[in-house]
Amino acid sequence: ISGYIKKLDQFKWAKYVDIVSWDNYPRPEHRMSTVALKHDLMRGLKDGQSYILAEQTPSKQNWQPYNILKRPGMVRLLSYQALAHGADTVMFFQLRASVAGVEKFHGAVISHAGHEHTRVFQECAKLGNELKNLEDRILDSKYRSQVAIMFDWDNWWAVELSSGPSRDLQYFEQVEKYYHALYEQNIAVDIVRPDADLSKYDLVIAPLLYMTKSGVAKNIETFVENGGTFLTSFLSGIVDENDHVILGGYPGELKRVLGIWVEEFDALLPGMKNTMEIIQPTKDLEGQYECGLICDVVHLKGAEALAVYGENFYAGKPCFTRNRYGKGKAYYVASDAEEQFIKDFIKKICDEKDICAPIDAPEGVEITQRFKEDKAFTFILNHNDFSISIDLGQKKYENLITGKEKSGKVNIAAKGVFILEEL
């Protein structure tokens, strides 16, 4: 599988392959969280099995509108990001630059100059030596997550091939917003099918779950009944696996677990906005937030309102709800909320569920962990263009890249990477 292809349902395809591989060609406008999400999606295709990073350019691409060079340190950083999210292999396309054809200007380890005296070759050689020093210490190590995000290609197609309600509605963009809030807090995430076993998770998020296939609502109900926290967003539970509307009121089979009835949904014109007024403020979530794109008109059927709309004819009606169901809770965000709301809300839930990052870090620093038997490997990636300081506490670690011992406050250079194993 050459990952993240919209027109191919890769969950279905993955059943017929032994190992997942993909090509990582981020665009200049992509956030690092978008790249991380794609890695996690590839890892999720075979239920957490390690995968291959089959292709990445060591310098530039040739087929994007603007083919900017990777800045010094970026090829190394992106390679270690792949390992940090579950890859066991890092490879490049291509070894030697082509002399003709459509990809003659695509980057290569060996450029048209034909020798090793280039910045790109030296960076790749350094990375190769570092990876060789790791030997097999992290191979076959696994991710562990308390949080899952549901992802479904059929849902993707159904949302974006539907006639209405809005041409601006993009499924992957909605998923990425919630993933980004978790990424910023360095919370590990698994990407799972809607019919996956949810029992090992504390929090499950299903952004824009427009299509609810047979058994999915029951799967969610069981998860929440047993103490899990579930979160979904506007325009969910609308159709079945055949893209037929589920009659009896929106959100279809999710009405019971969410405790709401959505009477209608309003697709706002470009530039139109509404507000979410928090009526049950907490330390992390208070005041007013902006929302738009789609606004569901919600009636409470057992749930409680945590926020209401501030404008339009449905001003004062719920736009953010919570339903206590069995031992757990189910939340509904009835509009396309601004990212600050999602960030604040995710922090609130994670604090309640005792879900936290392995190490506190400043903005722009990515931290993940992989586990092998009783060993934990902690990856720290500094995406900033400046060095940062992190406090590792009293524990002592070996940095597997350099072999040096680390503890207490440490500095990580711009675009720098640590892989730590506790001593």
Q: How far apart are CA 412 and CA 418, in angstroms?
A: 8
Q: At 418, list the tokens.
A: 């640590």
Contact call for residues 321 and 233 (beta carbons, < 8 A): no
Peptide bond preceding 94 in cis form (omega within 30 of 0): yes
Query: What's the pLDDT score for residue 1?
Result: 54
Tokens 């990477």 belong to 417
pLDDT attached to residue 2: 57
Distance CA 402, CA 419 (A): 9
Q: From CA 252, how far away is CA 318, in angstroms rounded? A: 18
Query: Distance between CA atoms of 186 and 183, rounded to whole angstroms?
Result: 5
Nearest to 334 by CA among 235, 211, 203: 235
Tens of each residue's pLDDT in the chain, 423 residues: 556 789 999 999 999 999 999 999 998 899 999 999 999 999 999 999 999 999 999 999 999 999 999 999 999 999 999 999 999 999 999 999 999 999 999 999 999 999 999 999 999 999 999 999 899 999 999 999 999 999 999 999 999 999 999 999 999 999 999 999 999 999 999 999 999 999 999 999 999 999 999 999 999 999 999 999 999 999 999 999 999 999 999 999 999 999 999 999 999 999 999 999 999 999 889 999 999 999 999 999 999 999 999 999 999 999 999 999 999 999 999 999 999 999 999 999 999 999 999 999 999 999 999 999 999 999 999 999 999 999 999 999 999 999 999 999 999 999 999 999 999
Instruction: Tell me the C-alpha distance between 32 and 274, whole Å.
Output: 29
Burial class (CB in 10 A: 0-12, 13-18, 19+), 377: buried
Closest listed residue to residue 276, CA positions, set 232, 323, 311, 300:
311
pLDDT value of residue 5:
85
Residue 3: predicted pLDDT:
62
Q: Which tokens sit at 18?
A: 């032994």
Distance CA 155, CA 45 (A): 16
Per DSSP bridges, beta strands 229-233 and 328-333 are parallel
- CA 360, CA 373: separation in Å to the nearest integer? 24
What are 212-219's contacts with CB under 8 Å, separation 24+? 212/236, 212/237, 212/239, 212/240, 212/246, 212/252, 212/253, 212/254, 213/152, 213/154, 213/240, 213/241, 214/240, 214/241, 216/253, 217/252, 217/253, 217/254, 217/256, 217/257, 219/194, 219/195
